[in-house]
Amino acid sequence: MPSVQAFYTNKTVIVTGAASGIGKALAKVFASYGANLALCDRDGELLVATAEALIEEHNAASVITREMDVADPQAWQSFVNQAYTQFGHIDICINNAGIEGTSAPVWASDFATLERVMAVNFYGVVHGTRSVLPYLIDRPWAAIVNVSSIFGMIGAANAADYCASKFAVRGYTEAFRAELAEIYPHIQIQLVHPGGISTNIARRDNSQSFKRKFLTTAPQKIAEHIALRVMRNQARIVYGNQSGLVHMASRLLPLNWLAKLVGKQMRQLDMQNDYRLDHPGFQVPEKKVDK
């Protein structure tokens, strides 16, 4: 087997959510391996700064960027075509972009946030997968890497909307892998379940306790791990703070035990106000009487 550097040199890699966190770390890792990079993010200014740093640090001249909402399928088609036009081929697409949910229990959550979380975290993966697939058919080797979460393995209290999106990514990716294996087995499909990675995804005031307690693994470590495991064609990649424990618990513990264990742990995160018995989310709405 070639070295990681030799394996990725001159391969074209698409990374979403590349302006910060895991996406930025992935861009750095693949730049250091000599890959061509097509990077996108909603934060265009931060994305350009990331690309400029890559060019300066790694002499990575083969970098293009696109300010883009991954929930927009038309933007995806344009972005993928731009990458193909620039580099002549696409080898890897890493659907990494994601946002946090309400960080509140179901009865304290709003539907608009749920819709947006699903649009970015799930449909962003769908659009990326569907858009890039035709460009991978004729490559001798290719990979689509979809980032779920350890919350795509277990349902965590105060994260129903986020869990829903990441469970959806898991189901979609596992089914897609089974389907593609029948006709294009040279295209690898990887599913990533990060644990607590130190990123800025947790931005809400009510999620800061969770961030301090759980988001501790450096993004660079999981980025290097992903690159190695993709090269080795590991179907499920689990890495980061508490990821191994959660993975094992999801496979071994009965659901009622798992729910109590996770619920107890999450309720320690200063969210007592959302768990009031008289919370408005438990109240029957007033009925309007037509006159």
| Distance separating alpha carbons of residues 13 and 34, to the nearest angstrom | 10
Q: Is the distance from CB of 140 to CB of 89 less than 8 angstroms?
A: no
Distances (CA, A) of 251 to 9, 24, 174, 255: 37, 31, 16, 10
Total residue length of the chain: 291
> What pTM did the predictor assign?
0.91
pLDDT of 269 over the 80 cut: no
Name the band, by pLDDT with cuts 50, 70 and 90, for residue 7: very high
pLDDT of 207 over the 60 cut: no
At residue 61, the pLDDT reads 65
Q: Is the distance from CB of 128 to CB of 76 less than 8 angstroms?
A: yes
At residue 273, the pLDDT reads 80
pLDDT of 205 over the 70 cut: no
Give the DSSP H/E element, type plus range, for residue 79.
helix 73-87
| Distance separating alpha carbons of residues 162 and 154, to the nearest angstrom | 11
pLDDT tens, position by position, 62-98 = 999 999 999 999 999 999 999 999 999 999 999 999 9
User: Which of residues 155 and 199 earns the better pLDDT score?
Assistant: 155
Name the band, by pLDDT with cuts 50, 70 and 90, for residue 234: very high
pLDDT of 201 over the 70 cut: no
At residue 106, the pLDDT reads 94
pLDDT tens, position by position, 93-114 = 999 999 999 988 999 999 999 9
Share of the chain above pLDDT 70, in %: 89
**Mean pLDDT over each residue of the chain, to the nearest integer:** 90
Nearest to 246 by CA among 232, 261, 230, 234: 261
At residue 258, the pLDDT reads 83
Structure tokens at 108: 């304290």
Look at the domain 4-274 and name its fold: Rossmann fold (3.40.50)
pLDDT of 215 over the 80 cut: no
Q: Is the distance from CB of 172 to CB of 125 less than 8 angstroms?
A: yes
pLDDT tens, position by position, 138-195 = 999 999 999 999 999 999 888 999 999 999 999 999 999 999 999 999 999 999 999 9
The catalytic site residues sit at 162
Q: Per residue, what are the HEC states of 227-261?
A: HHHHHCCCCEEEECECHHHHHHHHHHCCHHHHHHH
pLDDT of 210 over the 60 cut: no
Q: Say which residues have a Cβ less than 8 Å from residue 180's Cβ, sequence separation at least 6.
A: 187, 189
Q: Is the distance from CB of 241 to CB of 195 less than 8 angstroms?
A: yes
Q: Is the distance from CB of 207 to CB of 103 less than 8 angstroms?
A: yes
Please compute the mean of the pLDDT values over residues 115-136 and round it to a whole number.
Answer: 98
| Distance separating alpha carbons of residues 123 and 139, to the nearest angstrom | 25
Distances (CA, A) of 96 to 22, 168, 212, 226: 8, 14, 22, 12
Q: Say which residues have a Cβ less than 8 Å from residue 208's Cβ, sequence separation at least 6.
A: 202
Share of the chain above pLDDT 90, in %: 73
Report the Cα–Cα distance between both ends of the chain, in Å, rounded: 78
At residue 286, the pLDDT reads 80
Task: Enumerate the domain spans of the chain.
Answer: 4-274
At residue 288, the pLDDT reads 65
Concatenate the DSSP letters of all residues of 114-148 into one string: HHHHIIIIIHHHHHHHHHHHHHHTTSSSEEEEEE-
pLDDT tens, position by position, 13-63 = 999 999 999 999 999 999 999 999 999 999 999 999 999 999 888 765 699
